[in-house]
Structure 1
Amino acid sequence: MRLSARIALVAAALLSASSAWAAPVGDRLEKVVILSRHGVRAAMSTPERLGEASARPWPRFDVPPGHLTARGGQMITLMGDYYRQLYTSEGLLKAGDCGAAYYWANVTQRTIATAGAYAKGLTPGCANPVNTVGEGKDDPMFEPVKAGVVSPDKALAHAAVAGRAGGDLTAWSASHRQEVEQLDAFLMQCAKGPCPPAPGKRRALDAKPGFVEGEELVSLSGPEAFASGVTESLLMAWADGGDFAGLGWKGVDEDALTRTFFLHQAEFDLRLRTPYVAQALAGNITGRILDTLDAGEAPLGPSGAKLVVIAGHDGTLAVVGGLLRMEWTLPGYQPNQIQPGAALVFERWLRADGVRVIRARFTGQSLGQLRAATPLTLAAPPLSTPVFIPGCSTATPAFDCPVARLREVLAKR
């Protein structure tokens, strides 16, 4: 077995153990908010368009671009069933208590279908609706700028991003040259990048770094942005069971995929986790999450709901993580990567000493669990790790964050 594989197995065992961490005697779980990315979707581009960026053809999906796949829905239901087992064991949920859960989704097919798939596993036999703002509307939690609830300074957002890149996006991108050449070798299927010229092909090597004007607060071009879309499509096809070997691809395995994700995360981190950008894009949804956990002015769902599921996108989790300065890493993924169906889980506990605290975790299926659609149980859980919230978390095993202190931290940011 490769050393990297042995290390990953040890890390996986440690992280999986954290998901089964036992709360101290006398602590009581009161409320949970699960902020989840949607499940496995079809690539946003057609196989033909993706084929322009690789030497081999791409697997086809059984649904239109961007839609949740059948396997994607199945794997979200497995996650929902795992949460049902977990929170039943914690005493939060009881069989047949349909009103204990509430579901909210952004207005896309994949997020609405994801929330519905969660309900099948989390509250089976119940007719819980998936709540949204309605077709054709912009949800302020997910699209605060388009919905008109915040008006950030776009020039300042660009300056903040450029500042994190040392004021020179070209130089920042050049620092990733090795990873760009590795991705080129993977896509063009040569022994070592950069690969020989390939007329008619789109290459990460040829993408020019810079800002792109558009509706988004910040959009980037360059090898990292090019890689972001392509490697996300690789991840989705892999998780959906795509037959890469049958299409002539070589070297497509978990180790290779993990390496290809580096550029995607570099682009995501710079574009979405820059503090000013995260403040503008995540302030509203993070406030709603805290209000839901702590009976604030604008909670999601009825007061009797003990568990609230919010189905959004990887960008949703990225900006919330950026706003609260949270970091996480799961084996098989890059730091702060957000795989399909992964979630930031916020739990409100009443400790035995009378203090109410938030315990945050990042939870998601491993590459192997996604590929095999592995059933999940308390004995065989998804990967999970506790998340530290700077300025709030304390030196306790689950990084307890007092609710009152979290409100102060969020107000400052």
Structure 2
Amino acid sequence: MTQAHPVPSGLRLERVVMVMRHGVRAPLSGEVPVTTRTAQPWPNWPVPEGQLTPHGASAIELLARHDRRWLASLALTRCPAAATVRIWTNTASRTIASGEAYAQGFAPDCRLTVGHLAEDRTDPIFEPLAAGATAFNPSQAIASIDRFTGGMAALVARHRPALVLLDTVLGCGHGACSPVDPPSLVASTDRRGIELSGPIRAASGIAQVLLLEDAEGMPRRAVGWGRADPVTIARLGALHAALFDVFTRSPYMAAHQASPLGHRIIDTLTAARAPRLDVMIGHDTNVTALAAALHVALDAPGFARNDVAPGGAMVIERLRDPRSGERFVRLYYRVQSLAAIRALRPEVIATPLAVPGCAAPCRLDRFVALLKARIA
């Protein structure tokens, strides 16, 4: 099942750019350390830390099959030529594996190339701060984040009910939870980024792991020890989304986090020659930074607002009026619901996104001007 949005009458689909999060993965190192706030054992995963699971790969293949049908008007051959489809991933194993799963689902047995830098290199498209890709100033960043959030203490206060709920899921009612540092936001040692400590940092990764347990299809009795039903997981997702309020969603952070990515999008949309489909597979920070730069919110069933689903993507279509030659863009948030990922059901939702200040469909030149004005 998919919610399709036909190309408006009189327009033709020419190009598509997709910025996508990797699929369901095992917990990252440090997300659930052995001392993390509960004495109860965490579930075992079928792959090492941070890697895409077989279940996650299957869900990505389902998304790719949907995208192939959805984008049929791009008129790609059964095995698309390298010049027509470009799949580029970050260097983490989960993003590369997600790219390979996407390629297999999009064009089965065609051996589409999945490009990425060497695994020991930092790709500025996906990790611009670590790559030193912009003139990032941590003091300006922290000031912008404080204006956007009201400060770290206010951010924690807003999410206090979710923090209490997380303690309940963790079984912290009898003193099992470890202490948490007070909220703090400072420049990183190398001054290429910022470092957050305190309740949101401590809770965000745990909330994400609980969601990933559900998405992986673990038995209900194992998801949050039987205390994290879908409604609870969605509420706890606000703690993970709060991390993006710090790292990607303030105007300054969005401008820098989305900069190389945004320029790549502009190049693909405006170049005389470019792939018809350009898929970039990275992380939730990439999707949220782009959304923040464009002033749009990301909503999907089973997820908190702006908590990006595994495999969730921002999709930008370039359309052309063959009579006038004028070009336009349309934006979507393409995603599977949490329930669909869990059950590996072929249910995909493509939600239209309206960019403020850009009527839909948005003129390409207007879209480019808006995005350029909001990225470093």
Distance 1:98 1:263, change over 3 A: same
Question: How far did 1:163 drift?
Answer: 2.2
CA 1:131/1:246 → structure 2, altered by over 3 Å: closer, same or farther? closer
Q: Which amino acid aligns with 2:64?
A: G
> What is the distance in 2 between the residues matched to 1:73 and 1:388?
30
Aligned position for 2:243 = 267
Separation (CA, whole Å) in 2 of partners of 1:344 and 1:383: 12
- Residues 341, 364 of structure 1: 8 Å contact kept: yes
SS of corresponding position for 2:33? helix
- For residue 88 of structure 2, give the secondary structure of its aligned residue in structure 1: strand
**Partner SS for 1:104:** strand
What is the aligned partner in structure 1 of residue 267 from structure 2? 291
Matched residue of 2:62: which SS?
Answer: helix
Residues 330 and 361 of structure 2 are in contact (CA less than 8 Å); yes or no, is this contact kept in structure 1?
yes
Please give the residue correspondences for 1:6-405 in structure 2 after superposition, counting only pairs within 5 Å: 19-45=3-29, 49=33, 52-54=36-38, 56-88=40-72, 90-99=73-82, 100-166=84-150, 168-188=151-171, 195-198=173-176, 201-202=177-178, 206-214=180-188, 217-246=193-222, 249-295=225-271, 303=273, 305-351=275-321, 354=324, 355-374=326-345, 376=346, 381-392=347-358, 394=359, 399-405=360-366
Distance 1:295 1:401 in 2: 18
CA apart distance, 1:58: 1.6
Q: Deviations over 1:144-165 (max 9, x none)?
A: 2332321211111111112223
| Alpha-carbon offset, residue 244 of structure 1 | 4.8
- Distance change in 2, residues 1:91/1:165 (3 Å): closer
Amino acid at match of 2:216: D
1:186 positional shift: 1.6
CA-based RMSD? 2.2
Hey, what's the Cα distance between the residues in 2 that align with 1:140 and 1:148?
A: 8
- C-alpha distance in structure 1 between counterparts of 2:223 and 2:152, whole Å: 36
Residues 145 and 151, structure 1, Cα contact 8 Å, conserved in 2: no
Residue identity in the other structure for 1:412: A
| TM-score, reference length from structure 1 | 0.83
Counterparts in 2 of 1:175 and 1:93: CA distance versus 1, 3 Å: same
Instruction: Work out the number of aligned pairs and report it.
Output: 370
What are the superposed Cα offsets for residues 132-187 of structure 1, whole Å, 9 maximum, x if unpaired?
A: 12232111211223323212111111111122233x42233123222211111122
Unaligned runs of 5+ in 1: 1-15, 190-194, 297-302
Summarize the Cα distance change of 1:75–1:333 in structure 2 as closer, same or farther, 3 Å threshold.
Answer: same
Length-normalised TM-score, structure 2: 0.91
Structure 2, unmatched stretches of 5+, are none
Q: Could you tell me whether the CA contact under 8 Å between 2:333 and 2:350 is conserved in 1?
A: yes
Amino acid at match of 2:100: G
Distance (whole Å) between structure 2 residues aligned to residue 147 and residue 158 of structure 1: 19
Q: Is the 8 A contact 1:47 1:60 kept in 2?
A: no
Deviation, 1:304, is 5.6
Report the Cα distance in structure 2 between the residues aligned to 1:372 and 1:117, rounded to whole angstroms. 18
Q: Distance in 1 between matches of 2:206 and 2:291?
A: 23
Query: How much does 1:24 deviate?
Result: 2.5
Structure 1 residues 120 and 155, CA gap change in structure 2 (3 angstroms): same
- Tell me, in whole angstroms, the C-alpha distance in 2 between the residues paired with 1:138 and 1:371: 32
CA distance in structure 2 between the aligned counterparts of 1:352 and 1:39, rounded to whole angstroms = 37
Q: Does residue 1:412 correspond to 2:363, yes or no?
A: no
> For 1:63 and 1:25, how far apart are their aligned partners in 2?
47
Deviation at 1:341, TM superposition (A): 0.5
8 Å Cα contact 1:47-1:57 kept in structure 2: no
Judge which range, 125-134 or 244-253, deviates more. 244-253
CA contact (8 A) 1:51 1:58 kept: no
